[in-house]
A and B are shown apart, each in its own frame.
Chain A
């Protein structure tokens, strides 16, 4: 059903039109959606979990869900918010599953505090590594707000749609998440005594 990708045939239709075509059984349209969203979703999951292999599984999970729940998508609503909601659900299910099987405290340390990435170590960017560790130490909701707004570059209106709140509430969440990040980084900077 799926032919090799031909960049020359890249679909220029809006996301919502592509998804409408997917609802009609158009596998090409599905490939178009994959091409647009797999990298942002992968980046979202990596920033959220600090786990690259796990993030690939989560991306796959999201696209399976896109097909599984394609009938429930309303083309009158923004597709981006819908697919990120699926992504949040996938991440949340994985967290719950891990907690159910290993206990909440059994989340691997590298997920809670990923530590400096190899790239950061190589270039000696201690500040960036520190911020990454601070981000990893935040509660999930705060990390999500920062990743969606800052890293994924979504508007607060879009963030609100994804988080299920108003644009104004999304701004407040981002503000408070950045406050938490700042505190986390300051804690990490303090010498251990």
Chain B
């Protein structure tokens, strides 16, 4: 773009016109544009047509969101503010689903879980202590089993919300079995929704020392498709004090194509792992 009308070229229009529409041009630049348009019929026709298209994009205020959005966001935020206390993004997202009616599979499984709790309370009131302990233990195992089924069922769903629910449920399982672990690893490796991948990272926190988890975390740390996931994975590796990740972290820190924030986080993580080794 030039300020000199005598050197204003037709190709300058694509720089100057949008600035003119938004009042971003100085007096001199505007004069140069007007002089050029006065002398060039082709540019004048183009500018008129495009300005018409620009002006025709409605500025009407879109009617605001539903009244419940604020409450939903604040509920989710309330949980997210407690993230350090172990509340996952998945839990935050699942805490305020937009649709009140759950899917039928979720509903049936949740009902089954609730039924176990009710049965447990009934047994607790009626049976002697030793039998009670055995039954509580049995019910815990059953509940764990229900959570496993819920996770594996929901994680296959097409809806990201349901997959988030699945991962949030998995995070509640104290000892996820290999199937659940593999489902979480699969979600981390390739789910199309970043939130699901982030939630999977949180849900995998309970599997400290599992070499498959470490391997997938390290692989995901190198996946440049989502810097957010990379940063979260790097944090998880630091939390696990996983020193086997150091070479990968160094590679990320030196990767000129990685996002700056990711490279910085990798450098920070290397420092943290070194400090934890002392």
Contact = CB atoms under 8 A, between A and B. Distances in A.
A1 B76 CA distance: 11
Interface stretch (B53-61, B100-108, B140-148, B236-244): B53-61
Given A56-B98, A146-B57, A150-B54, A61 B93 contact: yes
Contact of B81 (A1, A47, A61, A182): A1
A39 B70 CA distance: 11
Contacts, number: 156
Give the interface size class of chain B: 35 or more
Contacts of A99: 192
A101 B158 contact: yes
A178 B265 CA distance: 39
Interface string B14-48: 11111100101000000000000000000000000
A175 B50 contact: yes
Nearest to A65: B228
B77 to A, nearest CB: 6
B110 interface: no
Interface string A90-133: 00011011111110000000000000000100000001100110
Contacts of B192: 93, 96-101
A96 to B, nearest CB: 5
A84 to B, nearest CB: 15
A68 B58 contact: no
Interface stretch (B193-201, B205-213, B215-223, B250-258): B193-201
Contacts of B161: 57
B57 A181 contact: yes
Given A135-B57, A178-B54, A185-B53, A67 B83 contact: yes
A64 B92 contact: yes
Contacts of A72: 231, 261, 265
Nearest to B74: A2
Closest 9 pairs (CB-CB, A-B): A100-B192, A67-B80, A97-B192, A175-B14, A182-B53, A43-B62, A174-B18, A2-B74, A97-B193
